[in-house]
Amino acid sequence: MAKTASLKIDDKEYPLPVMEGTEGEKAIDTRTLRASSGYIAYDQGYGNTGSCESKITYLDGDNGVLCHRGYPIDQLAQQSDFVETAYLVIYGELPNATQRKEFGLLLRKNAAVETQMQKILEGFPTSASPMAMLSALVSALPAYHAELATNNFEKDLQSFDLAAAIAMSKIRTFVAMIYRYQKGLPFMFPKQELPFCDNFLHMMFSEPYKDYLAMPEVAKALNLVLLLHADHEQNCSTSTVRMVGSSAANLFTSISAGICALSGPLHGGANVAVMQMLQSIHDEGDDGSRFIAAAKSGSKSNRLMGFGHAVYRNFDPRARIIGDACDSVLNKLGVDDPLLAIAKHLEQAALKDDYFVSRKLYPNVDFYSGIIMRAIGIPMNMFTTMFAIGRAPGYIANWREVAMNPKGRIYRPRQIYVGPTKRDYIPMGKRG
Ligand code: CMC
């Protein structure tokens, strides 16, 4: 018999269905609560709210577990690459050889950007935030692909494949264009023969008179960084993509909104903030204790960046993988970055401190990702745009779940109104 929970308010009982996910996560379905009782569930910040059922990513924050479509992140990090993991995240299964080839080809074919789009970029001051430019360019995509600016791909899955490839491939091209625009360098066209990461490095670092040939270690490190960002369940930006998508907005528009959400320093912007923190510890010859002491003040603006997570109460498995990779990548590339030693020291100091231990605050993915990105030549102000390239598959997969759910409803949370009660309009002459 199906399990139910029961809520008692005064003397009345309200039965509520109980749900269970495939990994045993339990929930009480409160969808009928307001209609039956007049009460809504209050959950500021949605920390205890399941906003959807999803088949994409499983995350157990208490035990530091992260799986995409059932595959553990450490296995993917060791054996897969970014494009294959992107396919898995978007389509639900690892691709066979033909599917992998076709997906790669679609990404390659859709890497180039319409020349008019350069003008959008050139409308920005070169000092503009790369995330603002990226979101603007992505939000312009429907204008160039009007036939794909729909949320209805159910009868035309090939068009969805094309929209997904355009989003994933062009976000990468946009990031390289933004970098070169800010540096005053000419844009480099993508090369069809190059794999995804090598092509990105080419668009970033080649010159019209000299090709940049990525060392295999560099392309591999980039693959790892992007793969580790591929999806992360209902985080702030992915939930934003789902919310915008639920209004029947198209894929590109929804992703553009997600990129805006990602820019905040508590979310994707943390990878820049971590490096700024490590750099200032280095420049001041500090041992990091100043940042730890400030973080313990409880003020939101002084948090230890790269530490803590809304869901993990244990090590972020991505931080472990990326932390371990730092040593080997820097070694292979012969890079000696003093910020790595500072980060390790800071991590050890925080993990011994009762403030962090008692609150179960551990390093997250952003703590070490910047060190690898710096080692492969990505400038710090571009770090969050790199996160966006990596997260694109997650945005696409989540948007698809929303758009292709025939029972989906527009996302529309309720609130508890605590403002003034009803009052009469006061004409200007009678206001104090
Ligand atoms: N430094 C100091 N104190 C912290 C930190 C931190 N980094 N993170 C959380 N706390 C405190 C928080 O103030 C609260 O204290 P108290 O119980 O005294 O009120 C307690 O720890 C529990 O906080 P929480 O409920 O676990 O945190 P949250 O869900 O509100 O916020 C977070 C999650 C990621 C925004 C937060 O940990 C943070 O601001 N971290 C620093 C920014 C960062 O690294 N963000 C990247 C997140 S991972 C990648 C991504 O998703 O983008």
Task: State the SS3 of 208-274.
Answer: CCECCCCCHHHHHHHHHHHHHCCCCCCCHHHHHHHHHHCCCCCHHHHHHHHHHHHCCCCCCCHHHHH
Cβ-contact 191, 202 below 8 angstroms = yes
Q: Which tops the pLDDT comparison, 289 or 111? A: 111
Between the alpha carbon of residue 24 and those of residues 21, 46, 48, the distances in Å are 5, 20, 16
Between the alpha carbon of residue 161 and those of residues 42, 69, 87, 256, 314, the distances in Å are 38, 19, 10, 18, 36
Average pLDDT over residues 139-144: 98
- 145 close to ligand 1 (CB < 6 Angstrom): no
Q: Name the average pLDDT for the chain.
A: 95
Atom of ligand 1 nearest to the CA of 232: 51
Distance CA 312, CA 32 (A): 30
326 pLDDT exceeds 90?
yes
266: CA distance to ligand 1 center in Å? 8
The secondary structure of 102-144 as a DSSP string is: HHHHHHHHT----THHHHHHHTS-TTS-HHHHHHHHHHHHHHH
Average pLDDT over residues 307-333: 93
pLDDT one-digit tens code per residue, 347-381 = 999 999 999 999 999 999 999 999 999 999 999 99
Query: What pLDDT, on a 0 to 100 scale, did the predictor assign at position 246?
Result: 97
Confidence of residue 90 (pLDDT cuts 50, 70, 90): very high
Query: What pLDDT, on a 0 to 100 scale, did the predictor assign at position 269?
Result: 96
Residue 401 burial (CB count, 10 A): 17
- 307 close to ligand 1 (CB < 6 Angstrom): yes
Query: What pLDDT, on a 0 to 100 scale, did the predictor assign at position 287?
Result: 83
- 391 close to ligand 1 (CB < 6 Angstrom): no
SS3 percent helix, strand, coil of the chain, rounded to 5, is 55, 5, 40
388 pLDDT exceeds 90?
yes
- 268 close to ligand 1 (CB < 6 Angstrom): yes
Q: Which residues are marked as active site?
A: 309, 366
212 burial (CB, 10 Å; 0-12 / 13-18 / 19+) is: middle
15 pLDDT exceeds 90?
yes
pLDDT one-digit tens code per residue, 200-228 = 999 999 999 999 999 999 999 999 999 99
Percent of the chain with pLDDT over 90: 93
Query: What pLDDT, on a 0 to 100 scale, did the predictor assign at position 155?
Result: 80
Residue 304's contacts (CB-CB under 8 Å, 6 or more residues apart) are 277, 291, 292, 295, 346, 350, 356, 361
Helix (H) or strand (E) holding 18: strand 12-20
Distance CA 408, CA 405 (A): 5
Query: What pLDDT, on a 0 to 100 scale, did the predictor assign at position 157?
Result: 85
Residue 198's contacts (CB-CB under 8 Å, 6 or more residues apart) are 214, 219
Query: What pLDDT, on a 0 to 100 scale, did the predictor assign at position 299?
Result: 87
107: CA distance to ligand 1 center in Å? 36
Confidence of residue 288 (pLDDT cuts 50, 70, 90): confident
- 3 close to ligand 1 (CB < 6 Angstrom): no
Confidence of residue 52 (pLDDT cuts 50, 70, 90): very high
Helices 216-228 and 383-403 meet at what angle, rounded to 10? 50
Q: Which residue has the tokens 């190059």?
A: 194
Atom of ligand 1 nearest to the CA of 303: 1
Percent of the chain with pLDDT over 70: 100
133 pLDDT exceeds 80?
yes
Query: What pLDDT, on a 0 to 100 scale, did the predictor assign at position 91?
Result: 98
Q: Choose among 428, 432, 420, 412: nearest CA to 31.
A: 412
- CA 7 to chain centroid, in Å, comes to 36
298: CA distance to ligand 1 center in Å? 10
309: CA distance to ligand 1 center in Å? 5
Q: Choose among 76, 16, 69: nearest CA to 40.
A: 16
- Ligand 1 mutation pick, 263, 361, 387, max ligand atoms within 8 A of CB: 361
218 burial (CB, 10 Å; 0-12 / 13-18 / 19+) is: buried
pLDDT one-digit tens code per residue, 230-268 = 999 999 999 999 999 999 999 999 999 999 999 999 999
Query: What pLDDT, on a 0 to 100 scale, did the predictor assign at position 21?
Result: 97
Average pLDDT over residues 174-190: 97
Q: Which residue has the tokens 């204790």?
A: 289
1 pLDDT exceeds 80?
no
Query: What pLDDT, on a 0 to 100 scale, did the predictor assign at position 172?
Result: 98
367: CA distance to ligand 1 center in Å? 13
48 pLDDT exceeds 90?
yes
Confidence of residue 38 (pLDDT cuts 50, 70, 90): very high
Query: What pLDDT, on a 0 to 100 scale, did the predictor assign at position 154?
Result: 80
Between the alpha carbon of residue 23 and those of residues 74, 209, 225, 271, the distances in Å are 18, 54, 27, 31
